[in-house]
Chain A
């Protein structure tokens, strides 16, 4: 069974740092792109960051670019999100998600990724 388990959330002051972890099991971690999605209290879902399966290419939402860093440790089957310079508006539940890849095209292949499995989330509160 595919499982994702987030940890590392907590209360942090504005300007502080936090590192989230997501332990993956039940699938070949190195073969899949992974990412983070957050949900502020009472609000909708917001994509935060993603990391590709093979070459480790990374992508960020404009709201966190330059402050957050996504990474993965294949040997530990773990995804990370290093969050620096935290702001009150970063307060949210952070979900880890596994991506499923769909390929389109024959000569020129384009890859598209959707989130098929989600963890239960970890709560980050930024407040003084």
Chain B
């Protein structure tokens, strides 16, 4: 099974900050990685697919990069609405999620 590890588990940043979340796969998954945003009491929402492709309607301040085993999600200028938990997910072999990163606004 492919394991996904995210870091950090939580982060606190100010509005306007650049925020980066890291996701590591236990083996190479090429670019078969997605990022999701989940707000409390809501369903997850797709942000990024194929490691760096922005889903339609998602603000351009979100971006993804990486391939193989190392990936990052970057929020270029953190906004109050970005307070949420973010999950990476590999879809090379079945589907596995990272444990999540909770982003808080200072």
Chain B residues with CB under 8 Å of A100's CB are 49
A95 touches B44 (CB 8 A): yes
User: With the chains together, A117 CA to B43 CA distance in Å?
Assistant: 9
Nearest Cβ on chain A to B96's Cβ, whole angstroms: 7
A interface secondary structure, majority: strand
A32 at the interface (CB under 8 A from B): no
B32 touches A95 (CB 8 A): no
A88 at the interface (CB under 8 A from B): no
Chain B residues with CB under 8 Å of A118's CB are 43-46
- State the interface size on chain B (CB cutoff 8 A): 23
- State the interface size on chain A (CB cutoff 8 A): 22
List 21 A-B pairs, Cβ < 8 Å. Answer: A44-B100, A45-B36, A45-B38, A45-B44, A45-B87, A45-B100, A47-B94, A47-B96, A50-B95, A61-B94, A95-B44, A102-B50, A114-B32, A114-B34, A114-B49, A114-B89, A116-B46, A116-B49, A116-B55, A118-B45, A121-B43
Most buried by A among B43, B49, B91, B92: B43
User: CB-defined interface of B49-71 with A at 8 Å, one 1/0 digit per residue?
Assistant: 11000010000000000000000
Within 8 A of B (CB), among A88-102: 95, 100, 102
Chain B residues with CB under 8 Å of A61's CB are 94
User: With the chains together, A35 CA to B44 CA distance in Å?
Assistant: 14
Cβ contact of A44, chosen from B32, B46, B99, cutoff 8 A: B99
A112 touches B43 (CB 8 A): no
* In the complex, residue of chain A having the shortest beta-carbon distance to the beta carbon of B29: A112
* In the complex, residue of chain B having the shortest beta-carbon distance to the beta carbon of A115: B46
Chain B residues with CB under 8 Å of A45's CB are 36, 38, 44, 87, 89, 97, 100
Nearest Cβ on chain B to A38's Cβ, whole angstroms: 11
A119 touches B100 (CB 8 A): no
User: With the chains together, A104 CA to B44 CA distance in Å?
Assistant: 26
Within 8 A of B (CB), among A38-60: 44-47, 50, 59
User: With the chains together, A44 CA to B42 CA distance in Å?
Assistant: 13
